[in-house]
Structure 1
Amino acid sequence: MKKTNWLLLVLALVLSMFLVACSGGDSTDEGSSDDGSTDTEQDSGSDSEGDSEAASGEQVLNLIDGAEIPTMDASLATDAVAFQWLGSTMDGLYRLGENAEPEPGIAKDHTVSDDALTWTFNLRDDAVWSNGDPVTANDFVYAWQRAVDPDTGSEYGPYMMGGVIKNATDIAAGDTPVEELGVKAVDDTTLEVTLEKPIPYFESLTTFGTFLPLNQAFVEEQGDQYALEADTLLSNGPFVMTEWSHGEGWTLEKNEDYWDAENVKLAGINVKVVKDTATGVNLYETGEIDRTGLSAEFVDQYRTSEDFRIEEEPVLFYLKMNQEANEILGNVNARKAIQHVIDRQSMVDVILNNGSIPAVGDIPANFVSHPESGEDFRELNGDLVTNDVDKAQELWTTAKEELGIDTAELNYLGGDTEVAKNLDAYIKDQLEKLEGLTVNVQSVPFQERLDRDTSMDYELQNSGWGPDYIDPNTFLNMWVTDGGNNKTGYANEDYDAMIEKANNELAQKPVERFELFLEAEKKLIQEDAVLAPLYQRAAAQLWKPHVKGVIVNPMGPDYNYKHAYIEGK
């Protein structure tokens, strides 16, 4: 998600990540997992079509990531870094394969009732955990119940399952026993899920990290130490985490007990935490890593290299404006002034210089299309924000008059990586074009940004989001009143009603639903100015030509390494 909190939670330009769901994310990490969450369906760095039987040389992938993994607990994960490595070590019911199509994971197939409320998943009987226990339907029941149990403290459980799985909302509120969640193990290999209402994107949703299974006996045995170290984790996916040196990196090895191990070619993946672009480039040049992200100053140097790649992603970054924490940001004209004063084109051309494009709404380009005409959502709704400094100054003057102030001071929460600091300095300069405004930038580590977003301990924040599933709702549903990832103080009954109607009355009317989402985006961005869109991320990267078969996802884990291999290294 992001994500994935596909805040991507301000996760990586070139990394993972949301406040992208996952997806949330960091706009700046120069790492390996570009997030929520972040993603085109093409081979990342080389030919996805090649026959993986051609794998040769040492089958080890060496990567960097721009941030530490905040958690490997699927119930607590909210960011693209966590979802990347959960997705590499775990299988859910399905996982995303080529062209963002769900491919079998623990589920072999499923059936759906005529009213679209009951989904029955037929599970394989040859899947095991890395401790030898079989993966059963009860592992999903336990994990999903745990995710919505208020005692767990999960952000994504209530957010992803509320209004989707029957009784999830009431359970998360503490009003209904967790056993009443609409998920049942009919037997070890049959999982029955009852939905609250028809969910057009539910199959896509089952690939997301929050819906991964958990081995109840193991989790309870580990207690509060679960998922904090490599030896307090279990895997049921292509790889097993064997080492985790916090703040430094981690190691994955092929899971020989994986149900589809014969199709996993990599023997392992080594990851180092590296926040500095120049360090990453040096490691790449000396052959120590197989991929690195490029910040603006390196792009022109490597643009003609055969190793150079640009990965476009449906990941948006924007300024979140905390309407509760600051009276100025509670003023709609002030927020609109902030939207219009920023020169996004120069930002992506000069500061980022990595293929990113200006963001002009809350839905990315080339993400979802009109179900009838096939036109792209972004093209249909057009540019909801523009760069117009004169208009911004007029709005700002009106805001100051309404607030009775001549000067203003705002605190800006940004990242601590090199790219983040450069970008945040640019945005500060842009904002201070507004007469009488002073912006104080606070550069903090990724985990602190996650924590401060959760507690709404910020005024302005550079944040991002990658899709948790392929539907406009994954972006627009965030901003309903008291939404789990809203964290702006925005509350509007009319906006809430639009999202409610789209996901209930119009759930099985795709054209009307899509067109209502178009109107909802206009209200969110154009009328209420809840966010100041910045850019839609692309990742400028160097990839070793010998890396083959990596799939780039539009949601959940940025990369699928299950089919990756090394050829001729």
Structure 2
Amino acid sequence: MKKSKLLAAMLAVVMTGTLFFGCGKSKDTSETPKTDDKQTETPAEDPAPEVEQKIVYNLGADPKTIDPQLNSAVDGSTIIHNAFEGLMREDSTGQIVPAVAEKYDVSEDGTVYKFYLRKDAKWSDGKPVVAGDFEYAWKRALNPEVAAEYAYQLYYIKNGEAFYSKKDGVTIDDIGVKALDDSTLEVTLEAPCPYFLSLAAFPTYFPTRQDIIETNGDRWALSPETYIGNGPFKMSEWVAKESMTFVKNENYWDAANVKLETLQVKLIDDEVTYLSAFKAGEIDVIESPPQAEIPSLVAAGTAEIYPYLGTYFYVINLSDNGKNVDAKAAEFLANPKVREALTLAIDRTLIADKVAQGGQKPATSYVPEGVLDSAGKEFQKDYLPPTADIEQAKKLLEEAGYPNGEGAPTVTFTFNTGSGHQMIAQAIQDMWKKNLGIDIELKNEEWAVFQDTRTNFNYLIARHGWIGDYNDPMTFLDMWTTGNGQNNSGYSNPEYDELIAAAKVEIDDAKRTEMLHKAEDILMGDLPIIPIYFYTNVLCINPKVQGTYKSLLGQMEFRDAYVE
């Protein structure tokens, strides 16, 4: 598919509701026949049976957390988006529209926002949502003791980074967010940010209740009784490793337009199992069916492939903080020529077409296709060949001192449980052995354990993936700055850090784009990451389900969903 066509597709959020064609009686609108010059009455048709407004959706494994300020994964984001709501939200067309904020004002210089909250916005326990709930949540995310991985997403706020970094003299009161009254939130930024309204629709910016969190501590987000949200649904049950159940939040400000009464979220992480449950009618919506099944599911119309703003990649541990990491293997991977050799020895086209099989495209860069710069133009550019360059990979490995892999240590590759990840890992394991003579040991871990392993640098090479938090190159590039909470590589390059920092305050579109391109040039030269393919969404949806959609940014939305 050409870039222009892909871009057009990716600018529209994926609407997953499909038309349902059924057989039924057609209603005759012609004149009724007469007998004895008297019109006979047509018997009234029986009313259609009422359909239970319940959807069963499979999320996968239990999310690590569903705390808006602590979550950093797509699965947790889906739960949070349906149980909470920010000042703004992404609608079914992909537009950012007012949510809890009824309206907003922006200063001429673009640095001061005033959000005016809806008077009828309430929490699921009936208490009003006030501006102070947002002020508390944002300052909570910026509290270094909370250790929010996404704290950096609030560095756009004046003194946000200074407070998080414990800069001398900067207190929590200096952070540029203030509730002027219960209905007015004033936000002062460090510099104009073209995507700040998109950030206001991001989970880390969602409100949370100070009284609930201070009373219950970290356990507040583990129980239906204390998981108090302000979104269209509220939790009624959570059976660990089995399911979460949500019901319509009658206190939601727009509850009159929420048709769904029950949203049951299954927590099945085995692809074969949840596909079988879907085929049996036990689950209405699944994502990522088994890779080997995708071609036949698509051909049968059971599954559809949609665009997705993200990159599937491997991350390399360049940190000195890891524990239980083989020192010889770590030294081997610290050599930039080794990392480039590993990158060039992969046939991305084969992985996308023959292993993943979901319409993915080979990742020839880190920032994926469909990402737009601040002028609205396609940002992506190619750095890698779509197929393997074995000759160059061997040359680089020899220059690094390991001709044909001689003397190279065995390297452990860690991935989270899932047949899809395993099949890709096995294919790349084979390529690295065949093309470079390097032995790879595969290690799989449960999702929650794996996330801790990667965050704590207890790995050598690990599976990773990143879905944009908003449509701008910055969401893919600023995570690799030194010390960033999402920098699971431990990568550090001062020049890279300077370019990202400068781009964040640059108001000239062309200069900003140039800085971000230079930053990616450095990243793709240093290669702390190995891009594999650009994501797609593969979804199977019961035809009776309407109005649900999967955002290009990852989360499934059920606010407008219903059963036909």
CA distance in 2 between counterparts of 1:255 and 1:309 reads 31
Aligned to 1:172: 164
Instruction: Give how far 1:254 is off.
Output: 0.7
Q: Aligned match of 1:320 in 315, 319, 338?
A: 315
User: Which runs of 5 or more residues in structure 2 are unaligned?
Assistant: 1-9, 21-47, 321-329
Task: Kindly report which structure 2 residues correspond to 1:212-291, keeping only aligned pairs within 5 A, or say none.
Answer: 212-291=206-285
Bigger relative contact order, structure 1 or 2 (CA pairs below 8 A, ≥6 apart): 1
Q: CA deviation at 1:200?
A: 1.5
SS in 2 for 1:62: strand
- Alpha-carbon shift at residue 400 of structure 1 (Å): 2.3
Which stretch has the larger CA shift, 539-548 or 404-413?
404-413
Say if 1:437 and 1:40 are closer, same or farther in 2 by CA, change over 3 A.
farther
Q: Is the 8 A contact 2:373 2:473 kept in 1?
A: no
Aligned to 2:38: none
Which residue in the other structure is 2:5 paired with? Answer: none
Summarize deviations over 1:382-429 as a string: whole Å, max 9, x none. Answer: 343442111111111111259x97222211111112222222212211
Structure 2 counterpart of 1:512 = 511
The CA RMSD measured in Å over matched residues stands at 2.2
Partners of 2:352 and 2:142 in 1: how far apart?
39
CA distance in 1, matches of 2:92, 2:279: 30
Residues 361 and 533 in structure 2, CA contact (< 8 A), matched pair in contact too: yes
Cα gap change, 1:55 to 1:104, in 2 (>3 Å): farther
Q: Is the aligned partner of 1:183 residue 2:185? A: no
Is the 8 Å Cα contact of residues 308 and 542 (structure 1) preserved in structure 2?
yes
**Alpha-carbon distance between aligned partners in 2 of 1:198 and 1:370, rounded to the nearest angstrom:** 12
Aligned to 1:358: 362
Counterpart of 2:393 in structure 1: which amino acid? Answer: A
Q: Deviations over 1:367-386 (max 9, x none)?
A: 21572xx64222xx234344
Q: Deviations over 1:68-102 (max 9, x none)?
A: 02112112111111111000000110111133211
| 1:465-502 deviation line (CA, Å, top 9, x unaligned) | 11112211000111122222112232222222221221
| 1:113 counterpart = 2:113 | no
Alignment-derived partner of residue 539 in structure 1: 537
TM-superposition CA deviations, 1:84-127 (whole Å, max 9, x none): 10000001101111332112211011111112111100110101
Secondary structure in 1 aligned to 2:401?
A: helix
Partners of 2:303 and 2:540 within 8 A in 1: yes
CA distance 1:173–1:496, change in 2 (3 Å): closer
Whether the 8 Å CA contact 1:184–1:191 is kept in 2: the answer is: yes
- The aligned counterpart of 2:327 is none
Alpha-carbon distance in structure 2 between the residues aligned to 1:486 and 1:221: 32
CA distance in 1, matches of 2:77, 2:291: 27
Instruction: Quote the Cα distance in structure 2 between the aligned partners of 1:465 and 1:39.
Output: 18
What amino acid sits opposite 1:169 in the alignment?
E
TM-score for both structures, normalised by structure 1: 0.86
Q: 1:79 to 1:434 in 2, by over 3 A?
A: same
Q: Distance in 2 between matches of 1:300 and 1:363?
A: 27
**Compared with structure 1, are the counterparts of its residues 397 and 40 closer, same or farther at alpha carbon in structure 2 (3 Å cutoff)?**
farther
Distance 2:179 2:490 in 1: 39
* Whole-angstrom CA distance in 2 between matches of 1:234 and 1:252: 12
Secondary structure in 2 matching 1:484: coil
Contact 1:318 1:533 in 2 (8 A): yes
**Contact 2:546 2:563 (8 Å CA) reproduced:** yes
The SS at the match of 2:439 is strand
| Partner Cα separation in structure 1 for residue 297 and residue 456 of structure 2 | 41
* Secondary structure of the structure 2 residue equivalent to 1:533: strand
Task: Report the Cα offset of residue 445 of structure 1.
Answer: 1.0
| Alpha-carbon distance in structure 1 between the residues aligned to 2:431 and 2:341 | 11
Over 4 Å off, 4+ runs:
none
Question: In structure 2, do the counterparts of structure 1 residues 105 and 56 end up closer, same or farther at CA, with 3 Å as the change threshold?
Answer: farther
Aligned residue for 2:562?
565
C-alpha displacement of 1:541: 2.6
Distance of aligned partners of 1:271 and 1:55 in 2 relative to their CA distance in 1, 3 Å threshold: farther
Equivalent positions of 1:167-566 (< 5 A) are 167-175=159-167, 176-292=170-286, 293-324=288-319, 326-368=330-372, 371=375, 375-378=377-380, 381-386=381-386, 387-400=388-401, 406-504=407-505, 506=506, 508-525=507-524, 527-555=525-553, 558-566=555-563
- For residues 109 and 97 of structure 2, the distance between their equivalents in structure 1, rounded to whole angstroms, comes to 24
Q: Are the equivalent residues in 2 in contact too, given 1:167–1:180 (CA < 8 A)?
A: yes
Q: Distance in 2 between matches of 1:68 and 1:400?
A: 44
> Cα–Cα, structure 1 residues 440 and 394, in superposed 2: closer, same or farther, change >3 Å?
same
CA contact (8 A) 2:393 2:436 kept: no
Query: Take 2:399 and 2:11, find their aligned partners in 1: how far apart are those partners?
Result: 40
Output the CA distance in 2 between the equivalents of 1:510 and 1:369: 8
Residues of 1 paired with 2:67 and 2:227: CA distance? 9
CA distance in 1, matches of 2:557, 2:504: 30
- Give the match's secondary structure for 2:301: coil
Indicate if the aligned counterparts of 2:316 and 2:529 stay in contact, CA closer than 8 A: yes
Q: Which amino acid aligns with 1:546?
A: K
| Structure 1 residues 309 and 197: CA distance shift in structure 2, 3 A | same
- 1:540: how far off? 2.4
- Among candidates 146, 149, 156, match of residue 143 of structure 2: 149
- Partner Cα separation in structure 2 for residue 385 and residue 241 of structure 1: 47
- Please tell me whether Structure 1 or Structure 2 has the larger radius of gyration of its CA atoms: 2
- Any unmatched runs of 5+ in structure 1? 1-37, 49-53
2:139 equivalent to 1:138 = no
C-alpha deviation, 1:45, in angstroms: 4.2
Contact preservation (8 Å) 2:332, 2:408: no
TM-superposition CA deviations, 1:176-213 (whole Å, max 9, x none): 32232111010100000111121121111111000010
CA distance, structure 2, for counterparts of residue 173 and residue 355 of structure 1? 42
User: 1:33 maps to which residue?
Assistant: none
What is the deviation of 1:286?
1.2
Counterpart Cα distance in 1 of 2:56 and 2:134: 32
- What does residue range 34-49 of structure 1 map to in structure 2 within 5 Å? 41-46=13-18
Deviation of 1:224 after TM superposition, in Å, equals: 3.5
Counterpart secondary structure, 2:332: coil
Q: Distance in 2 between matches of 1:306 and 1:401?
A: 49
What is the Cα deviation at residue 240 of structure 1? 0.4
The answer (yes or no) to whether the contact 1:205–1:469 under 8 Å persists in 2 is: yes
How far apart are residue 518 of structure 1 and its match? Answer: 2.1
Q: Distance in 1 between matches of 2:438 and 2:317?
A: 17
CA distance in 1, matches of 2:150, 2:353: 34
What SS is found at the alignment partner of 2:120? coil
Q: Alpha-carbon deviation of 1:236?
A: 0.6
Counterpart AA for 1:130: S
Q: Secondary structure at the match of 2:305?
A: strand
Count how many residue pairs are aligned between Structure 1 and Structure 2. 515
Give CA-to-partner distance per residue, 1:304-357, whole Å, 9 cap, x none.
Answer: 323321122011111111123611111111110111111111111111111111
CA spacing shift, 1:368–1:449, aligned 2, 3 Å: same
Partner of 1:72: 66
Whole-Å separation in 1 of the counterparts to 2:434 and 2:393: 9
AA at the equivalent of 1:172: Y
CA distance in 2, matches of 1:400, 1:475: 33
